[in-house]
Amino acid sequence: RKEVEQDPGPFNVPEGATVAFNCTYSNSASQSFFWYRQDCRKEPKLLMSVYSSGNEDGRFTAQLNRASQYISLLIRDSKLSDSATYLCAVIRDDKIIFGKGTRLHILP
Amino acid sequence: ETGVTQSPTHLIKTRGQQVTLRCSSQSGHNTVSWYQQALGQGPQFIFQYYREEENGRGNFPPRFSGLQFPNYSSELNVNALELDDSALYLCASSRQTGGFYGYTFGSGTRLTVV
């Protein structure tokens, strides 16, 4: 079993819709949690950190559930420019462990 | 402040050859991590360097080796290249270990082994 698991998708979502991704992690020693965005053939870029209390950045909301060991990302009012791969990441033993990523296609 | 720069951007090598990839960390960052990202996969941790010492290694064979220099730039060396080594190699730097300060990624080196 992979340490960080995500549904690879693709998620095909009409523009303006709300879409949610989940990610599960298996190692309870994981310390910090993040969502990264990766465009095709580009490097990952930090989208947002994830906290137990939940955090919001504009149309994006992230949530951490330590008891169930999952992380979620919600995108509201999706835009065409949101099309990308979203990577879930955890920090354990000073290194980032990534999931395989979830591909999102926003349809006009 | 300059970001993380990697060179070269693209590279084609023949099976069995050796390759060296380079990374200049962001100003003020003393920790460098290397990742391998195969097509359709997430980045996989290769190793991390902190103040010129290896500070953690992923599940990669010894033919993957690295260095960090006093200016905190870094090299990734891969010997005896195999076809499966074809991937995007990413370098990320941070101010300290622990990840709490955030990692900045370079744009990667795309290696093709033929």
pLDDT tens-digit series, residues A20-77: 999 999 988 887 899 999 999 899 999 998 988 889 999 999 999 999 999 999 999 9
pLDDT for residue A106 is more than 70: yes
Distance, in angstroms, between B108 CA and closest chain A CA?
Answer: 6
Interface mutation target, options A43, A45, A46, chain B, most CBs of B under 10 Å:
A43
Which residues in A35-49 are b (16+ Cβ under 10 Å) and which e?
bbbbeeeebbeebbb
Q: Which residues contact A38 (CB under 8 A, 6 or more apart)?
A: A44, A45, A84, A85, A86, A87, A101
Verify whether the Cβ–Cβ distance A95 to B110 is below 8 Å: no
Q: Please compute the mean of the pLDDT values over residues B32-58 and round it to a whole number.
A: 93
Q: Please give the pLDDT value at position B112.
A: 98
Q: Please give the pLDDT value at position A21.
A: 92
Q: Please compute the mean of the pLDDT values over residues B71-88 and round it to a whole number.
A: 97
Q: Please give the pLDDT value at position A84.
A: 97
Verify whether the Cβ–Cβ distance A96 to B102 is below 8 Å: no
Q: Please give the pLDDT value at position A35.
A: 95
Joined tokens for residue B70: 């006093």
Minimum-distance CB partner of A94 among B42, B56, B105: B56
User: Mapping DSSP to helix (H, G, I), strand (E, B) and coil, where does residue A81 land?
Assistant: helix
Q: Considering only alpha carbons, which residue of chain B is nearest residue A90?
A: B99
Verify whether the Cβ–Cβ distance A93 to B56 is below 8 Å: yes
Query: What CA–CA distance (Å, rounded) separates A4 from A30?
Result: 10
Nearest to B73 by CA among B2, B1, B5: B5
Q: Work out the pLDDT band at B100, boundaries 50, 70, 90.
A: low
Q: Work out the pLDDT band at A90, boundaries 50, 70, 90.
A: very high
Cis peptide before B43 (omega within 30 of 0): no
Q: Please compute the mean of the pLDDT values over residues B69-97 and round it to a whole number.
A: 93
Q: Please give the pLDDT value at position A95.
A: 83
With beta carbons under 8 A apart, name residues in chain B contacting A42: 107-108
Q: Please give the pLDDT value at position A51.
A: 83
